[in-house]
């Protein structure tokens, strides 16, 4: 993989393990148009890269990903063409993440929120430091959880817990996320690098074809579910991006005030 192909991802490969870091530390790695475009391509690039056997997804500067960049989201409100483009790109991210056959590990240190949370949950292993938090607060900004939350959470924690967190947007601390099965493991912050590296090396040094095809078999069922769930969730997320509640939520967030939704 060529690191110069990306505008907001930092990519490096050592001994057939490729680390992909979301690289907007000044914004807690919030996803803007550049990073969003990078994410539509990176999973396919990893799958096709002959020098990569295992991948690690992480974030730069003490955060994993704070979700959508608020000014970027605000710029889309009411713009039908841009909303359609972004929703199509979201679906490509989902499709390529689920078709990636090589093992991928999420190393989360800090917040993993919104699409950032979905990116972590698309990974085969999710290791998080004790200070990390997870959540899909789309409803908090007047949106449908359309970029993976409605698909992934019910499969990982069951429908009752998925409803509890997706319909409120509440965040979960890493120890609780591990307890309910949302993530693989919560580890002390000082141990996270070694823990992730050890599992990445185990995947690299294992029976790679067997691991690869087992992963593909596991994801085959998830991809079938995704065909129904993501189509509906993504399309309705696009609709909610055209609502007044969406604008109200974004403007309240920027003003550091609670939103007062009007239901339209």
Give the pLDDT confidence of 52-78 residue by residue, as tens digits: 999 999 999 989 999 999 999 999 888
Cross-strand partners of 9: 22
The predicted pLDDT at position 227 comes to 87
DSSP assignment of 74-90, as one string?
HHHTT-HHHHHHHHHHH
Rounded mean pLDDT, 96-116: 97
Q: How far apart are CA 214 and CA 143, in angstroms?
A: 35
For the chain, the C-alpha Rg in angstroms (whole number) is 18
Q: How far apart are CA 152 and CA 246, in angstroms?
A: 23
For the record, the structure tokens of 169 come out as 């947007």
Mean pLDDT of 256-261: 92
Beta strands at 104-108 and 125-129: parallel, antiparallel or unpaired: parallel
Q: What is the pLDDT of residue 68?
A: 92
**pLDDT, average across residues 87-106:** 95
- Please say if the pLDDT value at position 79 is more than 90: no
Give percent of the chain with pLDDT exceeding 70: 100
Q: What is the mean pLDDT of residues 111-139?
A: 97
Q: How far apart are CA 73 and CA 32, in angstroms?
A: 8
Task: Write out the H or E segment, with its range, that includes residue 91.
Answer: helix 80-99
pLDDT tens for 172-226 read: 999 999 999 999 999 998 999 999 999 999 999 999 999 999 999 999 999 999 9
Scored b (16 or more CB within 10 A) or e, 151-169 reads: bbbbbbbeeebbeebbeeb
CB 125 within 8 A of CB 184: yes
163-172 mean pLDDT: 97
Report how far residue 261's alpha carbon sits from residue 207's, in angstroms, rounded to the nearest whole number: 53
Give the SS3 label for residue 218. Answer: helix
User: What's the pLDDT at 62?
Assistant: 87
Other CB atoms within a 10 A radius of the CB of residue 239 amount to: 14
pLDDT of 231 above 90 = no
pLDDT at 77: 84
What is the average pLDDT value for the chain, to the nearest integer? 95
């Amino acid at each position: 993989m060529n690191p110069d192909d990306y505008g907001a991802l930092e990519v490096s490969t050592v001994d057939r393990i490729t680390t992909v870091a979301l690289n907007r530390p000044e914004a807690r790695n919030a996803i803007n148009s550049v990073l969003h475009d990078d994410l539509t391509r990176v999973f396919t690039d990893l799958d096709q890269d002959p020098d990569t056997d295992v991948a690690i997804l992480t974030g730069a500067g003490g955060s994993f990903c704070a979700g959508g960049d608020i000014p970027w989201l605000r710029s889309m409100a009411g713009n039908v063409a841009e909303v359609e483009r972004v929703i199509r790109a979201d679906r490509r991210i989902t499709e390529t993440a689920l078709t990636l056959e090589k093992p991928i590990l999420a190393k989360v240190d800090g917040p993993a929120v919104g699409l950032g949370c979905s990116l972590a949950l698309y990974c085969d292993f999710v290791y998080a430091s004790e200070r990390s938090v997870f959540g899909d607060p789309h409803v908090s900004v007047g949106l449908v959880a359309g970029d993976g939350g409605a698909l992934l959470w019910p499969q990982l924690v069951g429908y009752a817990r998925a409803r509890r967190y997706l319909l409120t947007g509440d965040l979960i601390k890493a120890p609780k996320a591990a307890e309910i099965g949302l993530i693989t493991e919560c580890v002390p912050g000082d141990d996270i690098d070694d823990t992730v590296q050890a599992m990445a090396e185990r995947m690299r040094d294992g029976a790679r074809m067997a691991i690869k095809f087992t992963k593909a078999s596991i994801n085959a069922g998830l991809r079938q579910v995704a065909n129904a769930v993501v189509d509906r969730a993504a399309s309705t997320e696009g609709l909610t991006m055209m609502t007044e509640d969406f604008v109200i939520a974004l403007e309240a967030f920027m003003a550091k005030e609670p939103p007062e939704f009007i239901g339209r």
